[in-house]
Chain A
Amino acid sequence: MKYEDFQRIEERAFYALFALFGVVVLLGAGAWHYMEEHGHVVTGMSNQVVWGIPHVFAIFLIVAASGVLNVASIGSVFGKTLYKARAPLSGMLALAMLGGGLAVLMLDLGRSDRIIIASTYFNPTSVFAWNVILYSGFFGIVAAYLVSMMAPRMKAYSKYIGLAAFIWRVILTTGTGSIFGFLVARQAYDSALLAPMFIVMSFSYGLAVFILVQSTMYSWNGLMLDAAIRRRMKNLLAIFVSAVLYFTLVYHMTNLYFAKQTDFERFILLDGGIYTSLFWFGQVIVGSLIPLAILFHPQLSSRCSAVVVASVLIIFGAFCQLYVFIIGAQAFPLNLFPGMEATSSFFDGRMPHPYTPSLPEVLLGLGGIGVAGLITMVAVRAFQFMPRDDYDQTVKAEIAPE
């Protein structure tokens, strides 16, 4: 479609997309109501797999939210000018996605009518309780950050608030990784590696989402992102994806070394059925190796569409990774008696614990994405989030071709 044709229907297209997100949100709300009314028996979750697809969506949105703020941090904290222009968009996306992710998480609670209790009763040893503070604080700090970047009088403060936002979000993502890392009970978790791994995952997912949204905005407005800027961003994305692959490698290598973890690794890497497929095919091949091939390819990587495809594949790989990480870890039964086979009426020893995502869960998860989408659409319409790269000397020098 030529841009001139699109321009004519642009307003209608905007409202159509808005309505689409709105429908997704309504379906999610309906799914939540259904789950609330009948209890979680209507979902695929059970006493064996207690966190399901909604948590996959929620953790993705939350991790990507803190990662997408990274773009702004590179600008404010590390002083890279070409990222400074992108900082408001990245801040807004961070808020939108965190909002969506938290909505899913809170609506999946068994007693979602008691959400306020999470604020009035506080257990200081619980990561979830820390998260109540960290996530609320994130909203506040990023909002202040946005104001400091976009209001003329506050510009002087943006560097300091940006630094605060960066430090806060590192703590936040460490907390998200520690949700799992602190669990000594499960063979898939119980590792200090998970906190830094989540930080690196956030870099990768966040930048992929950012590139996707940025490209969409540019083509919506009939603009083309400067090739040099595109090259810088895709190189950064490739580095992040490689880092995630590295952490995954170290995680599995270490586990393979421990005799007590062999059964678990065999499950994930070899005969875990869907989980093995999602790991190798979803996360490693489609989610990491193919995007890396695209991003490092000399000719292919210079094309905008190729980079967008790579971003989409990375996001797909992210979902696969989180599905294996959250659900696969629960599908592997707890080993209370090493060296023995266990059976019980409570499904001890059953390999694997079955789990099938149900429609209400998927709709609830998608509803979170819908919330993020709605917020983004309203924000980009009301405010000037389109990155504006002025080609003054500083920027030109910075992005000079290597």
Chain B
Amino acid sequence: MSNMDKTQKDAGSGRQFTRRQFVGAGVAAAAGLAIAPGVTLLDLAHARPADQAADGAKRWGMLVDTNLCKNGCTDCVAACGKENGFASTGHPETDPQWIRKIELKEIKSGRTHSLPMMCQHCATPPCVDVCPTGASFKRADGIVLVDRHICIGCRYCMMACPYKARSFVHEEHHDQNPDVPRGKGCVEGCTMCVQRVDRDLLPACVEACKAAGHEAMLFGDLNDPNSEISKRVATYASTQVRADLNLNTGIRYRGI
């Protein structure tokens, strides 16, 4: 699809779109980050406009059904690696991993199952508390990120994370995905594919699981009672990993 086609395609609805866009942007600018749920003026395009900040009324989360998660399947891991520009360097102990499949075996009964583990995007993240520069932060819509512009690479967040979610970049990287800047000396972790979420797409892992037909991962807005994920969390029992820490994670699991 060439650039010219896009211009022509949008030109017809351009005026209407722009006015609503302008009003929406003006409201957003005036009200800061908090917008009442459902009053986004851009349902037309089903996308958050580029100049609007992350919505504080939303809370992005995931529901993972481990009963549907197969032992040995790593579709989500591969998709994450592809989207975020990982390449194996031959040093598995220092290679970053944002999501991994944990194979579990219950010691007493021998029952096995597996699940994907990534940054849990806690509501009260320990990594955010300990970061000296504030590089580890929680965005308004609940996604926990590392601002690599100010990360000094002290790895304190890695010590603090109860889920071993963070990785340190031990080597130089080249040929990064332009949407996912990452480099040596900073700490990084699952971003819930924020570059995709901001464009109203699903995180790569969820999309891959869906595309392969496993349907084990569901992504959505936990603050929206009408979203699929909220309905399921309200209906079926789900737990958080290390729930006793009371971190109020954004990732919930069924079947563990």
Contact = CB atoms under 8 A, between A and B. Distances in A.
A126 interface: yes
A136 interface: no
Contacts of A337: 102, 104, 241, 256
Contacts of A341: 104-107
Contact of A186 (B105, B152, B159): B159
B91 A41 contact: yes
Chain B interface extent, by class? 35 or more
B215 to A, nearest CB: 22
Given A125-B129, A186-B159, A347-B93, A115 B152 contact: yes
A118 interface: yes
Given A121-B133, A128-B132, A183-B160, A109 B152 contact: yes
A184 B132 contact: no
Contact of A111 (B107, B151, B170): B151
Contact of A51 (B106, B155, B172): B155
B132 to A, nearest CB: 3
B108 interface: yes
B159 A183 contact: yes
B150 A183 contact: no
Interface in A35-59: 38-41, 45-48, 50-51
Contacts of B96: 47
A41 B170 contact: yes
Contacts of B56: none
Contact of B103 (A41, A121, A123, A342): A342
B179 interface: no
Interface in B117-160: 117, 126, 128-135, 150-156, 158-160
Contacts of A122: 132-134
Interface string B148-182: 00111111101111111001111110000000000
Interface stretch (B13-21, B184-192, B228-236): B184-192
Binding site of A, secondary structure by majority: helix, strand, loop or mixed?
Answer: loop
Contacts of A346: 97, 100, 117, 164
Interface string A177-199: 00100111110000000000000
A156 interface: no
A136 to B, nearest CB: 13
Contact of B171 (A39, A123, A126, A354): A39
B241 A47 contact: no
Contacts of A185: 126, 159-162, 245
Contacts of B92: 345
A339 to B, nearest CB: 6
Contacts of A47: 93-97, 158, 164, 167-168, 170
Contact of B241 (A45, A114, A330, A336): A336
B242 interface: yes
B152 A111 contact: yes
B172 to A, nearest CB: 6
Interface of A: 38-41, 45-48, 50-51, 109-112, 114-115, 117-118, 121-123, 125-129, 131-132, 179, 182-186, 330, 334, 336-337, 339-349, 354
A-B interface, 6 closest residue pairs, ranked by CB to CB distance from nearest: A110-B153, A128-B132, A110-B185, A185-B162, A123-B134, A41-B170
Given A47-B93, A110-B187, A337-B104, 16 more contacts: A39-B185, A41-B170, A46-B94, A109-B152, A111-B153, A111-B186, A115-B152, A121-B134, A128-B156, A185-B161, A337-B241, A340-B104, A340-B107, A341-B106, A341-B107, A345-B77
